[in-house]
Structure 1
C-alpha cells in the first residue's frame, strides 16, 4: 500500500495540515490540486494498490478448536500470500482540518497458504485457499511539517471489517479441519481485522514517511543560488480542490540574507479544468535577480576579443556601399531624430566593413565616435564594464512581463606595458525590457528581448565632451548581439518546479496575471 499512499501525498502534498506559525506570510509559490487531480490520484492509486497488495505476505495465524473425544487441537496457517485483491470501490477525499481520507469498501481478496495441526506428538499438514468478500478499510492520514518545513504524516484513524470468509482446506485429514471451518473462519476474520490496521500503520511509518522526505524543500540551482520550497501555511481546502502555499524564495550561500521587498498577494482565478496549477509570484523571480546581483553574476566585462567573436558572427564579407538612410531624406524632422538616425546609419556602415578591416574595441576604432580619444590614449585597447545599478525586478501585469533596469557602463583604457587601466568615462543606461516566460514538463525558464533602445546619460568623463547619442548606437548593437544572448543563455537553464520524483506535466497552459504567473497542467 506504500506506492498508492505516495501518489496521493505527492499530489495532495499537505491536505489538512495543522495550522503553521508562518501562515501570516504571503506565499511566493502556490500549488493548486483540483478534483481532476484527485481523480488522477484515485485511478493511479487503485491500479498500483491492486498490484502492490498481490505481493504482500501476511503474518502467520494460529488458534485451536475442540474436536470431541480428541480434545483441544492447535492449528497454524503459514506462508499466507494474497493471490488476488479486487478493489471494487476506492475513494479519496479531503477533509478540512483533518487530512486525507482513503476508503476501500466491498472489496474481494483471495489468500493461499499452508496449514499445520498439532496434537501431542502428531503433526498433520496441507494447503488451503481462502476468500474474503466485503473487505472494507478506512484510513485517515494527517500531514504536518517538521521544523525544517518538510511534510510529515501520521495515521490518525483506521477501521476495517470483513463481510464473509470462506476457506477450502486440502491435505491429510483435511476433513477434520473442514468440520470446524466456521470456527477457523471466525478466527481468521478476527485476527485479520486486527492485523490490517497494524499493517497500515507500519507501512505509513516504513514507506510513506521516507517518501515524504524526498519532496523538494530546498533545491540547488547552481553554485550561486538555491530555492526555498518550505511550506508557509496550511492548505485551503474547498469543494473544488486545495491550494498549498510554499515559500518560493531564492537565496544564496548566505541563507540569512534578507531581501528588502515584500511578497505581493496572489489572488488565484477560479481555474479547475486541469489537474494541477502553479501560481509563481513575481517575488520568486525577483529574489533570483537579487541573489545573482548580490553575487556579482550580472556584471559583464566586454573586451576586444568579445568584439572580434561578435564580428565573426555577424560580419559581412562583402562590403556594401552605404546608402543615405530614408530617415534622412525627409524634411523638417527634429534635430534629435536626425542625430539618432545618422548615428544608427553610421554604426551600420561601420559594422558592414569587410572582415579584413574589422572593428576593434580600441581607441583608434572608437575614434570615429569620440575623435579626441585616440589623441589622448593612442593605440590602446579598451574595456567596458557593464553592471546594473541595482537588481532589476520583473513586473507582472495581465499578459505582460517587463523590467526597467538601470545600467552603469564604465569605459577603461588598458595602459601599455602595465596592468593598470585608466577610467575614460561613465554612462548610465536605461531601457525597457520585455520578458518571455516558458514552462516545460518540470521547469520554468525565460528569455529577454529589448522593449526599447538603451538611453544613455553621461555621468562622468575624463576625455571632455563626446557624442553620447552616437555612443548609444554602438552600445545598443553590443547589447543586442552580446549582452542579451549571454543573459538568455543563463535564463534558459530555468529553475525546477516542486514536483515529486518521476512526475511530469503535460497539456501545459500559461497565463500572466497581476503579480504572478499561472501555469496549469495535467500530470503523468
Structure 2
C-alpha cells in the first residue's frame, strides 16, 4: 500500500453557513454570539483535523499511457502492491463548503453539508525505491492524477466528518441541565442560527424551570440589543428572564421561606425570642403568655425580580413575618404580623463555565401590620431580624447563587480571558475559547 506524506504549506478554506428560516414565537433568554474571531478559530481547528486525515489518504490503483522522449509510448499501471514509497507536497488547497445548520424538534442543533468543492493548485510527487528513477520520468501524469484523486477525497473526508463527527459533537450541547433537586435549565434552541458576515448568533430558550412541576411563565424575555463587540471569540447575552424564572421556581418551592427560633439567637444577645424578653416593649404579650417561647415564620411575598441597568444589578425583597407563641402540646398561636422591606445589590462573577452571584443586603425596614397584643415599637425587633437575615438567610441564598448558572458549552470547550458587562435587561459576557484535544 502506498501512502502519502508531506505538508500543506498554503491552505485556504472558505466555509459558507446557510440556515433554514424560522420565526421565533418569543424572545430568547440566552444568545450565544460567535464572532469572526471565533469562526476563524473553528476553521483553523478543522484544518488541523483535515491535515491529519489527508496524510492518511491512500492512492487507488490506476493506469494510463504516456509518451517519453527516447522511450516512445509507455503504458503504466500503478498498483498498491508496488514496493517503495513516495513523498507528496500539496500546495494551494482551496476548499468551499456550504453547511446547512438547523434545529431539531428536540431543540438540539443539526448540521449537514449542502455542497462542497475543492481545488489544488499544485502537487509535487517524488518516488523512491528500485523503480523510482523510471516512475519519476512520467511524474507529471502521476501528479495530475493524484491531484484529481485528492480533490475528490477532500470533500469525501469533509462530508464524512460532518456526519460522523461534527453532528454527534453538536449533540453534546445540553438541551436541559440539572441545577439541583428543585430546578433545571432549558437550553433548547428557539430556531435556526442567524448569520451575518461578521458573526453567528444562536438563540436558546434560557429558562429555569421546576423539575417537579413545570408551570408556564407569565412573562416573556425582553428584547436584547447586543452591543457591537468583537474583541472576544464568543459572547453570551443572558437575559434577566433566565434569572427571574429561577426566582419563580425557588420562591414557589418555598426555598425563600424561613423560621426563627430562640436557638438561632446568639447566646450573648440581650434579646431572647420569648415573652419575658419582649415584656419591655410588648407588655401585654408577657401578661397573656408568661414565660413562653416565640417563633417567627417568614416568607418572601412574591418572587424577587433582578433588575439590570447599565453597570448595576439590584433587587427589592418584600417579606412578611408572623410571630407565634409556642403553647403546650405543640400548639402555635399567632400574635402579630410584620412587613419587612429591603433593597439588595447583587454582584455576578464568571468562573470558566458558570455565572455565579452574591447578594449584598441593605438596611431593612420593619412595619407592624397586625397585632393581637396591642401596638408596639418594632425597633428592637429590627435588630433581631437584621441579625438573622445577615447571618442565616442571605448566606443560604448566597450559597445557592455560588453554585452558579451553567453556560451551554460543547464537550472539551474551555473559556478564558472573560469580560463582564451589565446592560439594560441583560448580562453580556465575552470570552475566548480553546478546544481541549486531550
Q: Please list the CA deviations of residues 49-79 of structure 1 after superposition, one character each: whole Å capped at 9, or x if unmatched.
A: 476347x5224511234699999764323xx
Q: Secondary structure at the match of 1:372?
A: helix
Give the deviation of 1:450 after TM superposition. 2.5
- Aligned mates of 1:61, 1:289 — CA distance in 2: 63
Return the match for 1:131 from 77, 84, 89: 89
Aligned to 1:385: 297
Task: Give the TM-score of the pair, scaled to structure 2.
Answer: 0.84
Aligned equivalent of 1:475: 385
Answer whether contact 1:369 1:471 (CA < 8 A) is retained: no
CA distance in 2, matches of 1:16, 1:409: 57
Q: Which residue of 2 aligns with 1:489?
A: 399
**CA distance in structure 2 between the aligned counterparts of 1:225 and 1:458, rounded to whole angstroms:** 34
Query: Quick check: 492-501 or 148-157, which moved more?
Result: 492-501
Give the C-alpha shift of residue 441 in structure 1.
2.1
Q: Specify the alignment match of 1:439 in structure 2.
A: 350
Match of 2:114 among 149, 153, 156: 156
Deviates most, 476-485 or 65-74:
65-74
- Residue 300 (structure 1) aligns with: 258
Distance 1:66 1:76 in 2: 15
Which residue does 1:372 correspond to in 2?
284
| 2:366/2:378 contact within 8 Å kept | no
Give me the whole-angstrom Cα distance separating, in 1, the residues matched to 2:100 and 2:213. Answer: 30
**Cα distance in 2 between the residues matched to 1:211 and 1:34:** 20
**Alignment partner of 2:217 out of 254, 259, 262:** 259
Listed as ranges, the matches of 1:30-41 within 5 Å are 30-41=31-42
Alignment of 1:237 with 2:239, yes or no, is no
In the other structure, the counterpart of 2:432 is 522
Corresponding residue for residue 238 of structure 2: 280
Deviation at 1:296? 1.5
Q: RMSD of the alignment, in Å?
A: 3.0
Q: Which residue of 2 aligns with 1:57?
A: 56
Query: Could you say which residue in structure 2 is the equivalent of 1:83?
Result: none
CA deviations over 1:71-106 (Å, ceiling 9, x no partner) = 9764323xxxxxxxxxxxxxxxxxxxxxxxxxxxxx
Which residue pairs with 2:169 in the alignment?
211
Does 1:462 pair with 2:372?
yes
What is the Cα deviation at residue 510 of structure 1? 2.5
2:340·2:364 contact (CA, 8 Å) conserved in 1?
A: no
Distance in 2 between residues matched to 1:521 and 1:66, nearest whole Å = 58
Q: How does 1:295-444 map to 2 (within 5 A)?
A: 295-307=253-265, 311=266, 351=269, 359-416=271-328, 418-444=329-355
Question: Equivalent residue of 2:84, what SS?
Answer: strand
The alpha-carbon distance between structure 1 residues 15 and 294, as it changes in their structure 2 partners (threshold 3 A), is farther
1:385 positional shift = 1.4
2:410 matches 1:500: yes
Number of residues paired by the alignment? 416
Distance 1:499 1:166 in 2: 42
Q: Distance in 2 between matches of 1:239 and 1:174?
A: 49
Decide whether aligned partners of structure 1 residues 260 and 17 sit closer, same or farther in structure 2, where only a CA change above 3 A counts: same
Deviates more, 1:432-441 or 1:176-185: 176-185
Question: 1:202 and 1:42 mapped to 2: Cα distance?
Answer: 17
Secondary structure (helix, strand or coil) at the match of 2:394 reads: helix
CA shift in 2, pair 1:301/1:15, >3 Å: farther
Q: Does residue 451 of the first structure (1) align with residue 359 of the second (2)?
A: no
Between Structure 1 and Structure 2, whose CA radius of gyration is higher? 1
- Taking the aligned partners of 1:127 and 1:273, their CA distance within structure 2 comes to 47
Shift of 1:27: 1.4
- Matched-pair contact (CA < 8 Å) for 2:18–2:98: no
Describe the SS at the equivalent of 1:270.
coil
Work out whether residues 139 and 155 of structure 1, in 8 Å CA contact, stay in contact via their aligned partners in 2: yes
CA, structure 1 residues 476+132, in 2 after alignment: closer, same or farther (shift >3 Å)? closer
Q: Structure 1 residue 488: deviation in Å? A: 1.5
Q: Which residue of 2 aligns with 1:75?
A: 78
CA distance in structure 2 between the partners assigned to 1:382 and 1:373 by the alignment:
10
CA distance in 2, matches of 1:506, 1:71: 61
Q: Distance in 1 between matches of 2:214 and 2:185?
A: 13
Single out whichever of 158-167 and 403-412 deviates more from structure 2: 158-167
CA gap 1:413/1:51 in 2 versus in 1, 3 angstroms: farther
* C-alpha separation in 1, matches of 2:218 and 2:330: 38
Q: Which runs of 5+ in 1 are unaligned?
A: 1-11, 78-114, 117-124, 316-350, 354-358
Contact kept in structure 2, 1:221 and 1:227, CA below 8 Å: yes
Q: Is the contact between residue 16 and residue 234 of structure 1 (CA under 8 Å) also seen in structure 2?
A: no
Given the superposition, is the C-alpha separation of residues 362 and 208 from structure 1 closer, same or farther in structure 2, using an over 3 Å criterion? same
Greater mean deviation of Cα atoms: 59-68 or 448-457: 59-68
- Shift in alpha-carbon separation, 1:134–1:274, aligned structure 2, 3 A: closer
